[in-house]
Amino acid sequence: MAKMWVCGEDRAAISGESFAVINPATEEVVDTVPRAQAVDVHVAVDAAARAFDGWRFVPGLEKAQLMHASARWMRDYQERLATLLTREGGKPLCENRDEVEWVAAVFDYYAEVGRDSIGRVIAPTQLDQFNCVLKEPYGVVACIVPWNYPLLLLAWKMAPALAAGNTLVIKPSEYTPLSTLMLMEAFRDYPDGVVNVVTGYGAEAGEPLVTDDRVRCVAFTGSVATGRRIATLAAQGLKKTTLEMGGNDPFIICDDVDVDIAVRGAAWAAFLNMGQVCTSAERFYVFRSIHGVFMEKLVAHTRSLRLGDPLQPGVDLGPMVSDNQRQKVERKISEAEAMGARTLTGGSRPAKFPKGYYLEPAVLDRVDHRMELMREETFGPVAPVMAVDGIDEAIRLANDSRYGLGANIYTNNLEYTMRAVHGIKAGTFWINDPLTDNDAGPFGGMRMSGIGRELGIEGLEEFRETKHVHMDYRIGPKPYWFPYK
């Protein structure tokens, strides 16, 4: 059985309970892990709290050297990490190799950015004064991480939080805890208690972590419902929160593009990791003049995607992470069809995979905004397409949502581009290049997609609070003290 990682040690749950991690491609047990209860969480927080005063004062260069060493370990063990990610999460092995490299790159990035500065000197208002602004860590940070990119979305929190001088308690998803536990080998040379992991079910382990008074910052990626619950609990202690809660991203295809290129970009944006990406394109708006040819080519391209064992080479799509997730997608497709939508391809369980949580990627036409498929996050391999009469209608429909995580447009028209960029509420806007990241660029949502930012200098600032230091270095009476007395 894999063990939790607390204060530099592998530990079982105090209760002795455990749960199984299932391979979504085979439905077989990969391993078991401890089922943490509140008492386990508090032990982990205690370890992080004890380690904080030591870690916060470790020089920036020394922190950077440790983080670079962690990145080297990740690259050395890339294949083992990627294989474990595939076995517990179902994403194709080639994509998980990329994920591990991206994680290493994030640690390298924040190793340098984090030691660049800890504040700034500001001009005083009087003679004989010195003023500066210091950036200080919060203390113990809770990192609550989803299953779709379990290591990458952890790194986006973990690397800047460590670089800023915080200590961590990590709660991975119950679907994908094993790769996180393996990753802890990259931190064996850190002081005990700086990095801790508790494995457990949702609120059972998550709520004691969020409500522990010693946790001063909570970084979360996941569903809107869970994010709102975390925000409510954290507010009771006035804790800092960063919340990335998914989206319902629009994708506009204008009539001046190469349709073949747009089709490939659309399929990538809709079906990557079986649509289980927070920035997946979940609703497509295609100019009416090219709608027919676009649909024909999108259906053909979708049917060419290779569904199969994610550990095998040449596979484009693996299974969904769980049967529960698959059923949610099937229900949304069925409800849309009952309201008039037409499924042109996919949406069924492939007969050649009697085991595993497989679902054929689907393309739907004749959809509209009455349907939940177009209004709420699907998080599955579905591309619903609407024809629009032009850029004005596309922008209006793109904004007809409570979310604002990402948005896409395919066009060579600068006017269309700038009108969409300024007109659509979204934290990230992709032009002719969907779903790409840049470690130096901030990522996060607007509206119900969340608050705060990850990556970039903005991502570091989320884990630091500001102190103004005001010093008068010549002690004596001041001319402005009670001048009328």
| Positions marked catalytic | 244, 278
Residues 279, 280, 284, 286: what is their CA dihedral angle, to the nearest 10 degrees?
80
Residues contacting 215, CB < 8 A, separation 6+ = 45, 139, 140, 141, 142, 169, 209, 239
φ, ψ at 35 (rounded to 5°)? -100, 95
Instruction: Say if CB 51 and CB 167 are below 8 A apart.
Output: yes
Q: How far apart are CA 17 and CA 452, in angstroms?
A: 35
φ, ψ at 122 (rounded to 5°)? -120, 155
DSSP string, 108-132: HHHHHHTTT-SEEEE--SSTTEEEE
CA distances (Å), origin 82, targets 70, 97, 109, 179, 415: 16, 5, 21, 8, 42
Q: Give the residues across from 284 on adjacent strands.
A: 251, 385
Q: How far apart are CA 349 and CA 381, in angstroms?
A: 12
DSSP string, 235-287: HHTT-EEEEE----EEEEE-TTS-HHHHHHHHHHHHHGGGG-STT-EEEEEEE
